[in-house]
Amino acid sequence: MLLLFVLLLGLGLGFYWYKHPKNKIQAVPHNFQWHTEKPLPIRPFVNKRNFNPSIGIKNISDQPENWLLIENTYLSNITIRRKHLEANPHQTMQIPDNERTVAALCEFYNLVTGFLTARYPKLFLHGWTGKLHNEITNDDIPFKADPSNPREMCNALGRTIEEDFLILMKDNPDNKEEEYILRAAVNAFPAGFDPSKSYNKPISAIHGPVPQYASRLAFSMHKFFNNLKQGDIWVRHNWSIQTHNQHFNLDSNHGRPGQEVKKIGFDEIDFEQGCFLRVERQAFLRLPNSGAIVMTVRTYLTPMPQIKKEGLGPELCRAIDSLPEDLAYYKKRDAWGEAVKQYLMK
């Protein structure tokens, strides 16, 4: 009898452990204060030798707790996100509409709420009412995914994490040739493109405008996605410069073929408040049940004076000059290049 009890208890605990992989996520230190947590100083151009586009991706699977971040920008950014989500629901949210993709969204949703309570136990509380309580915004969202309401799930995620996300799936998961297709997304901070144009498109179509995509990136990305192991997390960064202060940008950040790039004068730029290094921290992982790939994107806007203060002016100038022509055009270097360099060297 006792043996049976012990056996059952063991099984129960084992099952709980298996079902709650968040146990692997280490909580932040006891004295963690979100409002003093400085944004990660990601400066991808520093010491970089080759500026051709590359996938440049790093395995951070041994620190899964660094997947989604809460930093001192949380409240202000979440407030901005909510505004964009409300004002542009179609452009910011791709709501899945079939069972398979809704199931993947549910899986992602549960992963996020589980992660937040495990990583930030004082900021995100799983109450007995079945809600996830957000101590920073004083907001409640359902703790568990609700497959009957994918729109509300997208909304809740968009209002809770600073990261945008994309869920990519194949129609036939076993087909190695097939590309991943964008099936669900929240994109409150697009960097110069209209996210709704990518809905239900394969990765290659989404990256069509990226210079050298076909020659340098397509193959390695395809391979990377096919081989992405469940349980692994990979991170990559990319950067550009923008001469306005909006996160939400549908088309002005990038040069497109046939478009004339107009040079902006030094005096036309507000370097103190209207010129930023824009960095994306992209993370990739595979959802265990659906096999879908999730990409989360965290956007950093760092004011130019900060870069200068860090002593990185000359290094950023070098990076600006080192961009290959096609990438320079894509990043609109002809518009801001001279003026930004003049500011950085002053």
Ligand X SMILES: *[C@@H]1O[C@H](CO)[C@@H](O)[C@H](O)[C@H]1NC(C)=O
Interface ranges with ligand X (CB under 6 A)? 39, 59, 61-62, 71, 73, 76-77, 80, 162, 191-193, 210, 229, 232, 238-240, 278, 280, 298, 300-302
Q: Which is nearer to ligand X, 67 or 143 (CB)?
A: 67
Q: Which is nearer to ligand X, 132 or 277 (CB)?
A: 277
Q: In the complex, which residue's CB is closest to ligand X? A: 73
Q: Which is nearer to ligand X, 298 or 341 (CB)?
A: 298
Q: Which is nearer to ligand X, 40 or 103 (CB)?
A: 40
- In the complex, least distance from residue 45 CB atom to ligand X, rounded to whole angstroms: 11
Q: Which is nearer to ligand X, 73 or 117 (CB)?
A: 73
Q: Which is nearer to ligand X, 193 or 266 (CB)?
A: 193
- In the complex, least distance from residue 83 CB atom to ligand X, rounded to whole angstroms: 11
- In the complex, least distance from residue 76 CB atom to ligand X, rounded to whole angstroms: 4
Do residues 249 and 191 make contact, with C-beta atoms less than 8 angstroms apart? yes
- In the complex, least distance from residue 93 CB atom to ligand X, rounded to whole angstroms: 18
- In the complex, least distance from residue 227 CB atom to ligand X, rounded to whole angstroms: 7
Give residue 299's Cα distance to chain centre: 7
- In the complex, least distance from residue 71 CB atom to ligand X, rounded to whole angstroms: 6
